Amino acid sequence: QLRLQCCLLRRGILPGQLLSVKINLHNPERTKIKRIEATFIQHRETAVDRRQETIFFVNLPDLSEFNELYLERNFDLLVPNIYLTPTYKFTTTSHGTPHYITVHYELKLKVKSYGIFTNIEVRVPVIVGTDRSLQNDDRSRSKITVSRDRDVNKN
């Protein structure tokens, strides 16, 4: 059973900063990994529309043809220094009709491997902020961990 665990080393980031993640991959069958893709996505939702935009996409380095039993490594992914709407949710009602706007972000990690039913995808929520003064706040060091298992023997 191939198992991927991702831990954000900081719960929130700002544009231009490094998004630091710790990856733990348990590969008991030693399935050959082609690559691990990292996609940072912005989701925008309103009462009448839903959109998503890829902010960046990268293959994590030095993982091509990986087939070891364990991988435990930190990766620093540079978030572009562009304007990013901060994570937020706004809801109101007008004349009995609800209106809302939501902006949220996620880091999607996808393990691409050889074989049938061996690919894994994990989505981790990321908070994007605007205030650099929060950098020194102890709460910004809290961790979010998400994991996903995949039985590689299913056909």
How many domains does the chain divide into? 1
Is the residue at 92 inside a domain?
Answer: yes
The token pair at 56 is 């960046």
pLDDT given at position 142: 42
Is the residue at 103 inside a domain?
Answer: yes
- Choice between 128 and 94, residue whose per-residue pLDDT is larger: 128
d(CA 65, CA 60): 12
pLDDT given at position 140: 41
Is the residue at 44 inside a domain?
Answer: yes
Name 65's Cβ contacts closer than 8 Å, sequence gap at least 6: 32, 33, 34
Is the residue at 140 inside a domain?
Answer: no
pLDDT tens per residue across span 104-151 = 999 999 999 987 777 889 999 999 998 765 554 444 444 445 555 655
Is the residue at 90 inside a domain?
Answer: yes
pLDDT given at position 136: 47
pLDDT given at position 139: 42
Q: Which residue range(s) make up the domain with 113? A: 2-129
Domain of 45: which CATH number? Answer: 2.60.40.640
pLDDT at 60 over 90: yes
Is the residue at 147 inside a domain?
Answer: no
d(CA 35, CA 5): 15
Stretch among 27-36, 55-64, 81-90, 125-134 having the lowest mean pLDDT: 125-134
What are the residues facing 5 on neighbouring strands?
24, 147
Q: Pick the closest to residue 63 from 4, 124, 19, 126 (CA basis).
A: 4
Is the residue at 67 inside a domain?
Answer: yes
Is the residue at 139 inside a domain?
Answer: no
Q: What's the DSSP call for residue 117?
A: T
Model confidence at 152, pLDDT cuts 50, 70, 90, reads very low
d(CA 39, CA 63): 16
